[in-house]
Every structure is written in C-alpha cells, then in structure tokens.
C-alpha cells in the first residue's frame, strides 16, 4: 500500500470511530447545558480522562521535543512539570468557581458578572485570539506530521483533520467530546510509553548520550542559562493558559463538586509523564546531528521517519492524531460555547430559546473550523514560538482571574488598564523592541539583547498586570457582592435575570 494512502486510511479509520462515538451520545443532547457542560454530572474517571485528553495536545507531542531540542534537559523538564503543575493549581480555583458561580457555563460568564462591560469585551477578544491561536497550532501540527512522515500535502492534512473533528463536535458538543475523550486518552497513554521505547530500541541510548556530549554538551547541563529561563517562565505561561482557557472552565462546571479537586490533581500528575516521554525524542536528533528540513517543530516526525520504520510511523500517527483530535474538539466546543452563550445569548438575542442557542452554537463551530483551516495554511510560526507568543496574553490574565474569584475589592478599571498595558508591553519585549503581532511587526524601540526575547515577553506581561491590578485595588478598592453570581441563571433558562449586570 502507498505510504500516503496508509496515512489517510489511518486518519479516516480513527476519525470514523470518533464520529460514531459522537453520534451515539448526541441523542442525549437536549439542552444548552448538555452541549456546553455535559449535564454537570461528570465523575472522577471520565473527568480525569477528558482533562488529560484536552491537555495532551499536538503541542505536547511536537513542541515538547522542540523544547528539548532548543533548551536541552531543562526544556523537557520545564515543559512537563510546568504544564502538570498548572492543571493541579487550577483545582482550588475550580472548586471556588463551583461555589460562587454554580450555573456558570463559560469563562465569559465569570468576567461579565464579576467585572464590567469593558473588561468583558476585552476578555472576549483576548480569549478568541488565544483559542484561535491554539486551534491554529493543532491544525499546523496535523499538517506537519502527515506531510513529514507520510508525504501527504500539508493542506490536505489540515483540512482532513479539522473536517473530521468538526463533524462530531458540531453534532453533540460537550457530550460528544466527553465520549471520544475517554477513548482518545486511553490510546494516548498506551502509545506514549510504547513509542519512545521503540525509538530508543533503534537508537542506542549510549550512542545518543555520547553524541550529545560531543555535539551539544549544553543540552545536558542543568545550569544552562537559556534552559533555566525556560524552566522558570514556562509554568507561568501554562498557568495562564489553564486559568484563562474556556475548555478548563467548562470542565470545572461539568464535574460533580465532590470529585472536582481530585480530578484536576490526578489529571495534572498523569499529564507530566507524556511530555517527558515524547520530549526525550529530541535527544536522538541532537545526538545524531539529524537534519531538520522542517525546522525545530519537525523534530519528532523527523526522528520517527528516520528510525521508527512503517510500524513506528503508524503508532506515532495514531498517538498524535488522538492528541490533536481531542484538543481540537475541546477547543471548538469551547469557542462555540463563547459564541453561543456570551455573544449570541447575551448580546444578539437575549430572549433566545434553548433550541435557538444550540443552533447558533453549531453554526459557530463551522465558522471556527473554517477560520482554523485558513490560518493554519499560512504557517505563521513554529509551534513552540506560537505557544510562547500566546503566553503573553495568558500571563496578563492570570492575576485578574485569581483575585477576582477570591477577593471582593478588586478594581475593575485598574484591572482593565493593567491588562492592556501588560499585553502591549509584553509583545514589544517579545519582539525585541518591535510590537510582534505574529503576521507582522511594528518597530518601536531598540532593546538590548538581555532585555528582549520570546520568554521575556510573558514575564513582563505578568508583572505589569499583577502590579497594576493589585496596586489599583489597594488604593481604590471596589466592593463586589458574590451573591449576584451565586443567584445568576443563564438567559436561555430564565426570561428575566435581575442579578445579571448589563454588558
């Protein structure tokens, strides 16, 4: 069988199984709550599986080897521990959200009710940029892996993957995502431990180590300055991702209260082992001085195509595609949730019925998929660089989310101004004095090398947002009554909601 045809067959077979599972449970979707938060009765096992499947992304499989290739041992450790700790750190916030916003559906509900109109719209813009950026990385990863290993054109890989995921997500929403997540997480956890062992069986570990010592000894050093900076900054970026992203908030609202904390903790611990297993593939490339025609993002697929053979390529594609599909499905459902709940139901049609809101969500899912395809085909950046760029936005929102959930006297205007200044300044530091808007740059200043760079942008963004939010709230505190959030119900469930502030 032609290798290109084999790759397409694998994708179609796996995709058909996900679509079938999604169709089976879609009959249980009878309300917006079912579509967005899975009925709010998700337990420990399914909850851990869906969080794990969502968080094991195409980035985990491709960008963790890129971090190992770029920053060495510290890059792999930072990527793994940073992401796992971020999920575990979300546990107390999730418990708090369940208490103060029991009828919540999306992170947008929190910002609309806790802050004010200007914060709400600023957050929605930032969230859509972030979610579409994350979807972009998944689409790019699909195209890269199919092109590198199977020779399938990049565009075909992107369109095929997005189209299959769109099919089952638009039908059943969160219900479909939950049903497929369990299957995908089991496949991921089995293959993620088999696959690296297969690679190292072919590449002698001793020869890999000797090659790293001879060719790139800095990758093995624990005092590598670039690696140490990555180790310190990446947990901040990950925490911002988790605390801001709607997929995690939806799961917080979907889980039963009595298992909520344990679910996030178990999922975080389980996730740590995945990027450690896949990230070490980079050491094979470093130790053998492997050519990387596709750049650093192609480390993993290049190692696979050189060492794993046909069987290994099949395993790797199954692993990566399960990770891509699970994350892409969660993101599509999350962004659709923002559109149907926060834009359509709260702005466009405040008197919409549940059926109308559901229809809007399905239309929104299709539009999101088309935008993902269009942007992914441009290949604007490497996966790791794009992840760090998005981290500038995440870092600015970390403190406002936490203090807004736990404290009564946060100043909304102070938080709003701090976030804008933080993101803008972070983008300038990221671009070395030019505001980097991903597809183009705006020259502004000249910075010394030590003060600018990919990682410095996220640090600056977090620092400015934190200092600004805390300082303005201390000088000009504004009292908030959390009862307005506890008493709130979605508009599609109630014709009149007296406790929900106008946007």
Q: Which of 398, 492, 483, 471 is nearest to 113 (CA)?
A: 483
What percentage of the chain reaches a pLDDT higher than 90? 24
Rounded to the nearest integer, the mean pLDDT of the chain is: 83
Domain ranges of the chain: 3-382
Tokens 């790759």 locate to 7
Say whether pLDDT at 501 is over 60. Answer: no
Q: How far apart are CA 501 and CA 480, in angstroms?
A: 12
Question: Do 397 and 244 meet the contact criterion of CB atoms below 8 Å apart?
Answer: yes
Q: What distance, in Å, lies between the first and last C-alpha atoms of the chain?
A: 58
Predicted confidence (pLDDT) at residue 465 exceeds the cutoff of 60? yes
Task: Return the C-alpha torsion angle 417, 422, 423, 429, nearest 10.
Answer: 150
- The pLDDT tens digits for 51-107 are 887 788 777 877 888 899 989 999 999 999 999 999 999 999 999 999 999 988 888
**So what's the pLDDT on residue 418?**
97
Domain 3-382, CATH homologous superfamily name and number:
Sodium/glucose cotransporter (1.20.1730.10)
In this prediction, residue 277 has a pLDDT band, given cuts at 50, 70 and 90, of confident
Kindly state the average pLDDT of the residues 184-193: 76
pLDDT in tens, 238-250: 898 899 888 899 8
- 141-340-157 Cα angle (round to 5): 20
Lowest mean pLDDT among 11-20, 149-158, 310-319, 350-359: 310-319
Query: If pLDDT is split at 50, 70 and 90, which confidence band does 483 have?
Result: very high
Cα distances (Å, whole numbers) of residue 132 to 167, 346, 417: 18, 21, 24
Contact (CB, 8 A) for 279 and 63:
no
pTM score of the predicted model? 0.80
CA angle 359, 361, 365 (to 5 degrees): 120
Distance CA 370, CA 359 (A): 17
pLDDT tens profile 2-57: 667 877 788 888 888 888 877 777 777 666 766 666 667 778 888 888 888 778 87
Residues 144 and 305: their CA atoms lie apart, in Å, by: 12
pLDDT digits (tens, 9 = 90+) for 292-342: 877 777 788 788 878 877 777 777 777 777 778 878 888 888 888 888 878
Q: How far apart are CA 267 and CA 487, in angstroms?
A: 31
Q: What's the pLDDT score for residue 502?
A: 36
In whole angstroms, what is the distance from residue 397 CA to residue 114 CA? 14
Q: CA torsion, points 182, 187, 193, 199, in degrees to nearest 10?
A: -150
Chain centre distance of CA 365: 17
In 3D space, the residue among 65, 16, 46, 5 whose CA is nearest the CA of residue 325 turns out to be 16
Residue 220 has a CB neighbour count (10 Å cut-off) of 16
At 294, phi and psi to the nearest 5?
A: -90, 10
Structure tokens given for 495: 């014709």
Confidence label for 212 from pLDDT (cuts 50, 70 and 90): very high
For residue 499, name the pLDDT band (cuts at 50, 70, 90): very low
pLDDT at 491: 65
Which residues, 6+ apart, have CB-to-CB distance to 118 below 8 Å?
Answer: 412, 413, 416
Residue 345 pLDDT more than 90?
Answer: no
Alpha helices in 377-442 (DSSP H): 383-406, 412-430
Alpha-carbon 446 to chain mean position? 32
pLDDT tens sequence across 361-399: 888 889 889 998 988 888 766 666 777 888 899 899 999
Contacts of 353 (CB under 8 A, 6+ apart): 492
């Amino acid at each position: 069988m032609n290798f290109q045809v084999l790759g397409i067959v694998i994708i179609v077979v796996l995709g058909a199984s996900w679509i079938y599972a999604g169709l089976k449970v879609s009959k249980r979707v009878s309300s917006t709550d079912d579509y967005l938060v899975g009925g709010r009765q998700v337990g420990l096992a399914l909850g851990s599986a869906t969080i794990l499947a969502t968080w094991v992304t195409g980035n985990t499989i491709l960008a963790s080897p890129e971090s190992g290739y770029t920053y060495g041992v510290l890059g792999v450790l930072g990527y793994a521990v940073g992401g796992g700790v971020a999920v575990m750190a979300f546990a107390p916030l999730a418990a708090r959200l369940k208490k103060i916003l029991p009828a919540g559906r999306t992170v947008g509900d929190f910002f609309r009710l806790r802050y004010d109109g200007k914060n709400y719209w600023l957050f929605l813009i930032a969230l859509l940029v972030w979610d579409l950026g994350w979807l972009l990385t998944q689409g790019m990863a699909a195209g890269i892996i199919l092109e590198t290993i199977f020779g399938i054109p990049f565009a075909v890989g992107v369109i095929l993957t997005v189209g299959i995921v769109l099919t089952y997500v638009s039908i059943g929403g969160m219900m479909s995502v939950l049903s497929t997540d369990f299957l995908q997480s089991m496949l991921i956890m089995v293959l993620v431990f088999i696959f690296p062992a297969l690679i190292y069986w072919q590449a002698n570990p001793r020869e890999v180590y000797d090659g790293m010592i001879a060719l790139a000894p800095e990758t093995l050093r624990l005092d590598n300055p670039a690696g140490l900076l990555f180790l310190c900054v990446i947990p901040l970026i990950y925490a911002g991702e988790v605390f801001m992203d709607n997929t995690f908030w939806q799961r917080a609202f979907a889980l039963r209260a009595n298992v909520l904390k344990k679910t996030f903790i178990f999922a975080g611990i389980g996730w740590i082992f995945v990027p450690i297993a896949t990230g070490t593939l980079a050491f094979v490339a470093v130790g053998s001085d492997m050519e990387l025609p596709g750049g650093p993002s192609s480390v993993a697929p290049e190692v696979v195509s050189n060492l794993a053979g046909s069987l290994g390529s099949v395993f790797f594609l199954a692993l990566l595609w399960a990770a891509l599909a699970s994350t892409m499905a969660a993101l599509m459902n999350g962004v659709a949730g923002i559109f149907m709940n926060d834009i359509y139901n709260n702005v466009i049609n405040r008197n919409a019925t549940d059926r109308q809101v559901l229809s809007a969500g399905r239309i929104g899912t299709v539009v999101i998929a088309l935008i993902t395809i269009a942007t992914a085909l441009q290949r604007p950046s490497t996966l790791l660089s794009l992840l760090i760029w998005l981290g500038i936005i995440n870092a600015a929102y970390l403190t406002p989310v936490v203090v807004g959930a736990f404290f009564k006297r946060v100043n909304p205007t102070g938080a709003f101004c701090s976030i804008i200044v933080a993101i803008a300044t972070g983008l300038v530091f990221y671009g070395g004095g030019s505001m980097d808007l991903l597809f183009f740059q705006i020259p502004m200043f000249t910075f010394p090398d030590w003060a600018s760079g990919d990682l410095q942008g996220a640090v600056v963004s977090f620092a400015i947002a934190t200092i600004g939010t805390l300082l303005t709230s201390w000088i000009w505190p504004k009292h908030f009554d959390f009862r307005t959030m506890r008493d709130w119900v979605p508009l599609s469930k109630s014709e009149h909601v007296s406790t929900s502030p106008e946007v």
